[in-house]
Amino acid sequence: MRLSLAGRATVKLALALLAVAVVGVVVHTLAAQGPSSPWWLGILPGPVAQLRDASALLGTLLLAAAPYVSAREGEREPWSLVVALYVGVAIVLVTLAAGAMTGMYGEQIEDPRIASRWLFRARSLGELILLGTLLAFARRAWKAR
């Protein structure tokens, strides 16, 4: 199957996410070292693992979804979905990276740290955008059967 421009844009995003996951493996390994080790980064490994795992999962999902993103004969390119996909991924990656650098998971609805609340809200927004976009792609795949 030949991919359209939207499908190729999705593959590029998926490969970028998998590259982030590979970097996340290295950073997580260094973050997990003991404080007495010269290899220790001085950041919490948990939030780095979240970034790594989310990047790997999204990258794999998008590689699998790329054929369904591509326009078929007589169809318009689903650029609005591709843009929403990029926006959702950017929001999620930025919030996960910010959480990894500050040691905040961004999962608590109520947190005494103001930054953690905003991190939670922004991350939730990005995840909702991704959920809606992936559901729209699933609908396209269902129709294509």
Give the per-residue SS3 of 45-70. Answer: HHHHHHHHHHHHHHHHHHHHHHHHHC
pLDDT for 45-93, tens place per residue?
Answer: 999 999 999 999 999 999 998 888 877 777 788 899 999 999 999 999 9
Given its phi and psi angles, is residue 2 left (phi above 0), alpha (psi -120 to 50 degrees) or beta?
Answer: beta
pLDDT at 11 over 90: yes
For the chain, domain boundaries: 5-144
φ/ψ (deg, to 5) at 110: -115, 120
Tell me how far apart the alpha carbons of residues 131 and 139 are, in angstroms, rounded to a whole number.
Answer: 12
- According to the model, what pLDDT value does residue 77 have? 83
pLDDT for 105-130, tens place per residue?
Answer: 878 777 778 788 899 999 999 999 99
pTM recorded for the entire structure:
0.88
Nearest to 14 by CA among 65, 51, 81: 65
- According to the model, what pLDDT value does residue 131 have? 95
pLDDT at 140 over 90: no
Tell me how far apart the alpha carbons of residues 75 and 94 are, in angstroms, rounded to a whole number.
Answer: 33
Residue 16 C-alpha from the chain's centroid: 10
